[in-house]
Amino acid sequence: MCNIAVITVHTSPLALPGTRDSGGLNVYVRELSRQMARRGHRMDIFTRRTDPDTPEITQIDESIRVIQVHAGPYKADKYAQRRHLEAFRQGVMAFAERKGTTYDLVHSHYWLSGWVGRTLSECWKAPHVVMFHTLAEAKNRHHLGEREPKYRIAGERAVARGTDAIIAASESERGTLIEEYGVVPGAISVIPCGVDIDTFRPLNVRAARKSLGLDPNVPVLLFIGRIEPLKGIDVLVRASAQLDGKFQLLVVGGDEKDAHRIHELHTLAEDVGVLGKVVFADAVPHEELPRYYNAASICVVPSYYESFGLVALEAMACGVPVIASRVGGLKETVRDGQTGYLVPWRCPEPFAERLDLLLTNEPLRRSLGEEAREVAERYRWPVIATQVEDLYHDLVSTYRGVPVTAHVA
């Protein structure tokens, strides 16, 4: 058994995925922690306090707890949090000393957490593994409209070169780390994200649509994710305007803080003539998403960049074909012509062509969806967690100088 400190400064696993800074990272941290707890490990997840009324410790189960650390203003945005990393580190250290807890390994998520994790690793003389989830150099390369700041790139480079191991979610991310950040290839383990195939599974389509207030007889195009330019929602809206026949476009994500961006999408939908066919829904708890996926005829992931693309995998596990941008980890998750289609150009016309093909060919949709489910089963969480646990054991054994016994779930 290992005591593992999980560092996720800028977003909590308790936050609702699909809002602001919350997404696949949150799901990954929560689900991996559950898998590790089942294998006998104890997981302390440290995150920054954003609400003074929430408890310091939230016990998820006997072996997992989320610990909120006060560091800077409660409402500080992600870009301001780098100024409070030292306060966060001190808060984590103080908690560990107060509770008399020692940690065998530190697992950090995102570059801000990586800075904290590296210093904790040095203080505790414990190995440090980082998962970036997204890289500034990759985002800048794929999306010219918004540029990530130079200080982030410098921070990522320092963290990447100063850690014991990096988990990359895809070969694409591994390549970026080597080519753009100068990371030694042997320091990187490619381990994809996982999916709970018991929760995300095929359900009755008509029942799913009715439960969401959708017309059960009209095909549904589905987008799930944060409401931000990088996700390419505007491309999807413009592509839908080129389709003939009936369809419903369901956009799920965001909350009241995204009102301005959602209003812009409303205006765009009105300008291109599809406002009456678009339904906007706020982000929902992760466990409710299977209904949304199963209501869909096609899941569309038009992102400018994705390090992995968890939404695509969850849709596939529900037996739904995916049309996605040919970028990042999506190139490895979605099998072109087998589980859906990859679109090489992030503009409306090629997306519209693939959407029209699937909307007018139900047997093809069904065939791709069945294959998608089979492929998704290869990413089931116990398989993925075993790979992560093996890496943990290798790192801890190296530091201790003695083998660590694995706990089989």
Across 175-179, 254-258, 265-269, 302-306, least confident range:
254-258
Parallel, antiparallel, or unpaired for β 105-109 and 128-131? parallel
The CB density around residue 342, as the number of other CB atoms within 10 Å, is 21
Residues 6+ apart with CB under 8 A from 334: 301, 309, 312, 316, 322, 324, 340, 341, 342
* CATH code for the structural domain at 3-194+380-400: 3.40.50.2000
Q: Which band of pLDDT confidence, cut at 50, 70 and 90, is reported for residue 294?
A: very high
pLDDT at 18 over 80: no
| Tokens describing residue 186 | 């042997």
In percent, the amount of the chain with pLDDT more than 70 equals 96
Q: Model-level pTM greater than 0.85? A: yes
Summarize the confidence of residues 278-290 as an average pLDDT: 94
Instruction: Return the minimum-mean-pLDDT range out of 15-24, 65-74, 172-181.
Output: 15-24
Q: Which two tokens stand for residue 42?
A: 């104890």
8 Å CB contact between 328 and 171: no
* Sheet of 340-343, strands arranged across: 278-281, 248-252, 220-224, 298-301, 322-325, 340-343
CA distance 220 to 90: 49
Its CATH architecture, for the domain 205-378, is: 3-Layer(aba) Sandwich (3.40)
User: Residue 266 has what pLDDT?
Assistant: 95
If you average pLDDT over residues 63-86, what whole number do you get?
A: 90
Query: Which residues on adjacent β-strands are paired with residue 323?
Result: 300, 341
User: Does residue 409 or residue 132 have the better pLDDT?
Assistant: 132
Could you tell me the pLDDT band of residue 405, with boundaries at 50, 70 and 90? very low
Can you give the pLDDT at residue 407?
41
Q: Provide the pLDDT for residue 22.
A: 65
What are 186-200's pLDDT values in tens digits?
Answer: 999 999 999 999 999
Domain ranges, ordered by start, for the chain? 3-194+380-400, 205-378
How deeply is 161 buried, as exposed, middle or buried, from its count of CB atoms within 10 A (0-12, 13-18, 19+)?
middle
Residue 404 has pLDDT above 70, yes or no: no
Average pLDDT, the chain: 93
Is the pLDDT score of 400 beyond 80?
no
**If pLDDT is split at 50, 70 and 90, which confidence band does 171 have?**
very high
- What per-residue string of b and e applies to 359-376 under the rule 16 or more CB within 10 Å gives b? beeeeebeebbebbbebb
3-194+380-400 against 205-378: fold identical: yes
CA–CA gap between residue 142 and residue 218 (Å, rounded): 34
Residue type, 150: K
pLDDT confidence tier of residue 77, bands split at 50, 70 and 90:
confident
Closest CA relative to residue 147, chosen from 365, 304, 258, 274: 304
Q: Over 60: is that where the pLDDT of 409 sits?
A: no
Per-residue pLDDT tens over the stretch 203-247: 999 999 999 999 999 999 999 999 999 999 999 999 999 999 899
* 307-363: pLDDT as tens digits: 999 999 999 999 999 999 999 999 999 999 999 999 997 799 999 999 999 999 999
Q: Which amino acid is at 194?
A: G
| Residue type for position 178 | I
pLDDT in tens, 49-60: 999 999 999 999
Residue 122, phi then psi, degrees to nearest 5: -65, -40
Question: Can you give the three-state secondary structure of the chain, one letter per residue?
Answer: CCEEEEECCCCCCCCCCCCCCCCHHHHHHHHHHHHHHHCCCEEEEEEECCCCCCCCEEEEECCEEEEEECCCCCCCCCCCHHHHHHHHHHHHHHHHHHHCCCCCEEEEECHHHHHHHHHHHHHHCCCEEEECCCCHHHHHHHCCCCCCCHHHHHHHHHHHHCCCEEEECCHHHHHHHHHHHCCCHHHEEECCCCECCCCCCCCCHHHHHHHCCCCCCCCEEEEECCCCHHHCHHHHHHHHCCCCCCCEEEEECCCHHHHHHHHHHHHHHHHCCCHHHEEEECCCCHHHHHHHHHHCCEEEECCCCCCCCHHHHHHHHCCCCEEEECCCCHHHHCCECCCEEEECCCCHHHHHHHHHHHHCCHHHHHHHHHHHHHHHHHHEHHHHHHHHHHHHHHHHHHHHCCCCCCCCC
pLDDT classification of 74: cutoffs 50, 70, 90: confident
